Structure 1
């Protein structure tokens, strides 16, 4: 287990728009966990998909974090500057025969629950653009780990399919980039939303194949709408309000969403005071695996 003195955590948003309340809860959870451990907290902008990242969204996110008092310890990492490093990792996987080119389109295999691996032994349609996929059947399996909230986890990634590592349009996919960057930044503890729990098996396969250490994982309960939908930009979640009164209220509500039971008097305190209380009282044991519903 990672010693507290060596703790390195991170918040890694995709700049597809400004942060919303669900993003704040994830950022706050990772921040409090790092600070309570006496560790370092980093910010990485996961901007490997330019069509989804409007200009200026990254700087908006950084301003929002600062507005809520969530200050990071090292220079911000932008994934758009790290393509060469991802290629080196892919080359290593190709050399190990753990990655292969795939010409298949989603339409071709839409009747299957997962990609059937048709190109594992050779590209089905030579001359067409190819993506690069992970040979999930040949990499480490099964994958097990102890989630700090949800307990023992076991998956066979081969039952999840051969995940894409590099897209047909030459853009890098999330799974490879996040593993490479977590290793490069020395991340020891990944604290993120429950929606990413089933991504962990592929990421663990890649960590083993590339010789990277395995971080500890804490997957936080999701914030959902009154109808039960995940609060997200795709569901048109409103951006965080940034006036002083709203910042105090939203930060307090985020502490409540993380089941930390802050005293009501804290609700009107400035971010610095709320964060000081949050760090001093942070307890993973108080987290409930139940989703937090926003009031209508």
Structure 2
């Protein structure tokens, strides 16, 4: 059964970049879509900096994000939320789930998982194309797990997805909307993701856990993001239900591709907004190119 459409007193949108590189045209499309829909619905637009990845996120990239957004003419409401300043609240949520038997410690390295999966000729993959976790540590004795953690053995926390689905009643969903205001109910398929990682020793949270909590704590009612995150919404809906959080409405905009047909990405060093600005492209030209003029 999909979620029913909630009634919101005030629409609240958010743009939530990670400071692990410079913004590109795909980010411009996302933030400008948020701006347009927030204006259309008479809502607010918030800025969140998703900087939990301590190895890749840098202050200079955050400064660059601020520069790019100001150049595009964006104005945000309220204070900026930085995930790095709220790590304990994410860790506390993970502990709550663990106390309910919904999260278990996993000691498997990527190589261990790779070897386990290699024993099978065919193995299911998640919506991102990664092999599903084989469940090696699911049956680990709690006393043994506690001893290994106490000894400092590296580990992470995984959501026992089958138990989570059982707790929420075996069904979940959300409301998706388009720019014309049309809404549709979407049935979630969280089992497709298997036992996803919710926290790591070095960073006691994950993108999935942090975004579910942040959207609720910031009062976000409408989430606008790229279609590459559409499938992951199924995980977020499950976490929202488990933690007693509201489920926003969702809109997924198209992705932009380069001349080779591959989607724009920081990891591929796609041309950044700073690069475009350096060669004389104006913010007005960017808005026009993306049909926001």
Q: Do Structure 1 and Structure 2 share a fold, with TM-score over 0.5?
A: yes
Which is further off, 4-13 or 231-240?
4-13
Partner of 2:135: 117
Total equivalences in the alignment: 257
Deviations 1:141-186 (A, max 9, x none): 4433332249553343223111111124235210001111111000
TM-score by length of 1: 0.81
1:53 and 1:73 map into 2 onto residues whose CA distance is 23
Partner of 2:288: 252
In the TM superposition, what whole-angstrom CA distance separates every residue of 1:63-108 from its partner, at most 9, and x where no partner exists? 2111111100111111000011111111111122111111011222
Of 74, 79, 86 in structure 2, the residue corresponding to residue 82 of structure 1 is: 86
1:138 matches 2:156: no
Where structure 2 has 5 or more consecutive residues not aligned to the other structure, the ranges are 118-122, 124-130
CA distance in 1, matches of 2:204, 2:242: 21
Task: Tell me the CA shift for residue 59 of structure 1.
Answer: 1.6
Within 5 A, what are the aligned runs for 1:159-238? 159-238=192-271
Deviations 1:194-248 (A, max 9, x none): 0001111111110000000000000111111222211010111111133675211
* Range with bigger deviation, 91-100 or 9-18: 91-100
Aligned to 2:126: none
SS of the aligned residue for 2:186 comes to strand
State the partner residue of 2:154. 129
1: CA distance, partners of 2:96 / 2:261: 42
8 A contact 2:174–2:237 mirrored in 1: no
Check if 1:28 corresponds to 2:32. Answer: yes
RMSD: 2.1
Residues 121-130 or 41-50, more deviating:
121-130
Greater RCO (CA < 8 Å, at least 6 residues apart): 2
Structure 2 residue corresponding to 1:242, chosen from 259, 273, 277? 277
Unaligned runs of 5+ in 1: 256-261, 263-273, 275-296
How far, CA to CA, are the matches of 1:225 and 1:135 in structure 2? 38
Do the aligned partners of 1:4 and 1:37 also contact (CA within 8 Å) in 2? Answer: no
* 2:161 counterpart SS class: coil
Shift in Å, 1:19: 0.8
Aligned with 2:14 (options 3, 6, 10): 10
Q: Secondary structure at the match of 1:219?
A: strand
TM-score by length of 2: 0.81
Q: Confirm or deny that 1:147 pairs with 2:176.
A: yes
SS at match of 1:183: helix
**1:64–1:242 contact (8 Å) kept in structure 2:** no
